[in-house]
Chain A
Amino acid sequence: MISLAGRDIQHALGKFVFTGFGLGLLIGVTLTMAGVYRGMVDDAKVLLDNSSADIWVVQKDTLGPYAESSSIYDDVWRSIRSIPGVARVANVTYLTMQVRQGERDVRAMVTGITAGEFGLPGWPPQLIAGRQITRGHYEAVADNASGFKIGDDIQIRRNSYKVVGITRRMVSSSGDPMVFIPLRDAQEAQFLKDNDAIWQQRRRTGENPNFNRPGVPGLLDAVIDSQSTNAYVNAVLVQVKPEHNVQTIAETIQRWKRLTVYTRSQMEEILVGKLIATSAKQIGMFLAILAIVSAAIVAFIIYTLTLGKIREIAVLKLIGTRNRTIAGLIMQQAIALGVIGFVVGKITATLWAPVFPKYVLLQPLDSIIGFIAVVVICVLASIIAIRAALKVDPAEAIGG
Chain B
Amino acid sequence: MQNKGIRIEGLTKRYGKGDTAVDALKGVDMQVAPGEVVGLIGPSGSGKSTLLKCLGAVIEPTAGRMILGDEVIYDNGWKVRDLRALRRDKIGFVFQAPYLIPFLDVTDNVALLPMLAGKPNTEARKQALDLLQALDVLHRARAMPSQLSGGEQQRVAIARGLVNHPPVILADEPTAPLDSERALAVIKILNDMARKFETAIIVVTHDEKIIPTFKRIYHIRDGITYEEAGDGVDLR
Binary contact readout A4-20 vs B (1 if CB under 8 angstroms, 0 otherwise): 10011011100000000
Question: Is B173's CB under 8 angstroms from A399's CB?
Answer: yes
- A378-400 residues with Cβ-Cβ distance < 8 A to B are 393-395, 397-400
Tell me which residues across on chain B come within 8 A of A397, comparing CB atoms: 93, 95, 99
State in angstroms the CA–CA spacing of A2 and B116 once bound together.
9
CB closest residue in chain A, given B105: A7
Tell me which residues across on chain B come within 8 A of A11, comparing CB atoms: 102-103, 144
Question: Is A398's CB under 8 angstroms from B87's CB?
Answer: no
Q: With an 8 A cutoff between CB atoms, is B14 at the interface?
A: no
Question: Is B121's CB under 8 angstroms from A320's CB?
Answer: no
Residue of A315, A395, A398 ringed by the most chain B CB atoms within 10 A: A398
- A1-58 residues with Cβ-Cβ distance < 8 A to B are 1-2, 4, 7-8, 10-12
Question: Is A398's CB under 8 angstroms from B108's CB?
Answer: no
A11 to chain B, nearest CB (A): 3
Question: Is A398's CB under 8 angstroms from B53's CB?
Answer: yes
Q: Choose among B58, B116, B172 the residue that contacts A325 (Cβ–Cβ < 8 A).
A: B116
Question: Is A7's CB under 8 angstroms from B87's CB?
Answer: no
B159 to chain A, nearest CB (A): 12
Given contacts A2-B121, A312-B102, contact A320 B108 (CB under 8 A): no
Q: With an 8 A cutoff between CB atoms, is B104 at the interface?
A: yes
Q: With an 8 A cutoff between CB atoms, is A322 at the interface?
A: yes
B174 to chain A, nearest CB (A): 11
Q: With an 8 A cutoff between CB atoms, is B233 at the interface?
A: no
Given contacts A317-B84, A320-B113, contact A7 B99 (CB under 8 A): no
Q: Choose among A7, A316, A393 the residue that contacts B108 (Cβ–Cβ < 8 A).
A: A7
CB closest residue in chain B, given A395: B58
State in angstroms the CA–CA spacing of A120 and B89 once bound together.
83
Tell me which residues across on chain B come within 8 A of A1, comparing CB atoms: 115-116, 121
Q: Choose among B56, B99, B115, B160 the residue that contacts A311 (Cβ–Cβ < 8 A).
A: B99
Q: With an 8 A cutoff between CB atoms, is A287 at the interface?
A: no
State in angstroms the CA–CA spacing of A339 and B226 once bound together.
59
- A294-324 residues with Cβ-Cβ distance < 8 A to B are 311-312, 315-322
Residue of B86, B115, B144 ringed by the most chain A CB atoms within 10 A: B115
Binary contact readout B105-132 vs A (1 if CB under 8 angstroms, 0 otherwise): 0001000110111000100000000000
Tell me which residues across on chain B come within 8 A of A398, comparing CB atoms: 49, 52-53, 56, 58, 93, 95, 172
Tell me which residues across on chain A come within 8 A of B56, comparing CB atoms: 318, 395, 398
Question: Is A400's CB under 8 angstroms from B49's CB?
Answer: yes
Q: Choose among A4, A8, A316, A318 the residue that contacts B58 (Cβ–Cβ < 8 A).
A: A318
Question: Is B103's CB under 8 angstroms from A8's CB?
Answer: yes
Tell me which residues across on chain B come within 8 A of A12, comparing CB atoms: 103
- B24-70 residues with Cβ-Cβ distance < 8 A to A are 44, 49, 52-53, 56, 58-59
State in angstroms the CA–CA spacing of A312 and B101 once bound together.
6
CB closest residue in chain A, given B144: A11
Q: With an 8 A cutoff between CB atoms, is B88 at the interface?
A: yes
Q: With an 8 A cutoff between CB atoms, is B3 at the interface?
A: no
Question: Is A321's CB under 8 angstroms from B116's CB?
Answer: yes
A397 to chain B, nearest CB (A): 6
Tell me which residues across on chain A come within 8 A of B172, comparing CB atoms: 398-399
Residue of A4, A319, A395, A400 ringed by the most chain B CB atoms within 10 A: A319
Q: With an 8 A cutoff between CB atoms, is B143 at the interface?
A: no
CB closest residue in chain B, given A396: B58
Binary contact readout B142-171 vs A (1 if CB under 8 angstroms, 0 otherwise): 001000000000000000100000000000
State in angstroms the CA–CA spacing of A2 and B87 once bound together.
20
State in angstroms the CA–CA spacing of A10 and B103 once bound together.
8
Question: Is A395's CB under 8 angstroms from B53's CB?
Answer: yes
Question: Is B173's CB under 8 angstroms from A322's CB?
Answer: no
State in angstroms the CA–CA spacing of A322 and B144 once bound together.
24
CB closest residue in chain B, given A314: B99
Question: Is B59's CB under 8 angstroms from A395's CB?
Answer: yes
State in angstroms the CA–CA spacing of A394 and B113 once bound together.
16
State in angstroms the CA–CA spacing of A313 and B145 once bound together.
16
Q: With an 8 A cutoff between CB atoms, is B85 at the interface?
A: yes
Tell me which residues across on chain B come within 8 A of A317, comparing CB atoms: 84
State in angstroms the CA–CA spacing of A323 and B116 once bound together.
11
State in angstroms the CA–CA spacing of A108 and B86 once bound together.
77
State in angstroms the CA–CA spacing of A34 and B116 once bound together.
44
Binary contact readout B63-100 vs A (1 if CB under 8 angstroms, 0 otherwise): 00000000000000000000011111100010110010
Tell me which residues across on chain A come within 8 A of B101, comparing CB atoms: 4, 312, 315-316
State in angstroms the CA–CA spacing of A319 and B172 once bound together.
14
State in angstroms the CA–CA spacing of A1 and B53 once bound together.
28
Tell me which residues across on chain B come within 8 A of A400, comparing CB atoms: 44, 49
Question: Is B103's CB under 8 angstroms from A322's CB?
Answer: no
B3 to chain A, nearest CB (A): 19
State in angstroms the CA–CA spacing of A10 and B172 once bound together.
31
Question: Is B93's CB under 8 angstroms from A318's CB?
Answer: yes
Tell me which residues across on chain A come within 8 A of B117, comparing CB atoms: 320
Given contacts A10-B103, A395-B58, A398-B56, contact A319 B96 (CB under 8 A): no
Given contacts A7-B103, A322-B84, contact A2 B113 (CB under 8 A): no
Q: Choose among B49, B58, B160 the residue that contacts A394 (Cβ–Cβ < 8 A).
A: B58
A70 to chain B, nearest CB (A): 69
Residues of B within 8 A of A (CB): 44, 49, 52-53, 56, 58-59, 84-89, 93, 95-96, 99, 101-104, 108, 112-113, 115-117, 121, 144, 160, 172-173
Q: Top 7 nearest A-B pairs by Cβ distance?
A: A320-B88, A11-B103, A400-B49, A8-B103, A395-B58, A320-B87, A315-B99
A sample of 16 inter-chain contacts (CB < 8 A) reads A1-B115, A1-B121, A11-B144, A312-B102, A312-B103, A319-B87, A319-B88, A319-B116, A320-B88, A320-B89, A320-B113, A322-B116, A395-B53, A395-B56, A398-B58, A400-B49
